Amino acid sequence: MNPWELYKKYFNVWESATAQYMEHWLKSPLILEPAGAMLSASMKFKAEADKKAASFWGNIGLPTKQDQERALHKLNQLESKLLDLEEKLAEYEAK
């Protein structure tokens, strides 16, 4: 057997065993719970920091990033409703 084929054979065995071993650990609550808690805690911290920054801009009478996002989202919803109306009008015209 040439060396490359031999390498591939052993690599496949190693890969399969390693993947199984890692899957076992990646399912384990010992890993998942602290990882989930760390992610959630860092996100809560970020959300809190964003809130503080937003209240600063709000206090000086400026719209925050979230205010602008909400307004843009409402515009998108409005566009969808206009499209609904256009479709209904087209249906009536067709009748």
Does 78 sit near other proteins (CB under 8 A)? no
The angle at the Cα of 56, spanning 52 to 61, to the nearest 5 degrees, equals 140
Does 42 sit near other proteins (CB under 8 A)? yes
DSSP label of 62: -
Q: Which of 9, 27, 55, 62 binds other proteins (CB under 8 A)?
A: 27
Does 4 sit near other proteins (CB under 8 A)? yes
Judged by DSSP in three states, 61 sits in coil
For residue 15, CA distances in Å to 6, 60, 73 come to: 14, 58, 46
Hey, what are 41's tokens?
């805690």
Does 13 sit near other proteins (CB under 8 A)? no
Sign of CA dihedral 5, 6, 11, 12: positive
Q: Least Å distance between CB 62 and other proteins?
A: 17
Comparison of 53 and 72: residue with beta carbon closer to other proteins: 72
Residues near other proteins, by CB under 8 A: 4, 8, 11, 15, 18-19, 22-23, 26-27, 29, 32-37, 39-47, 50, 65, 68-73, 76-77, 79-80, 83, 87, 90
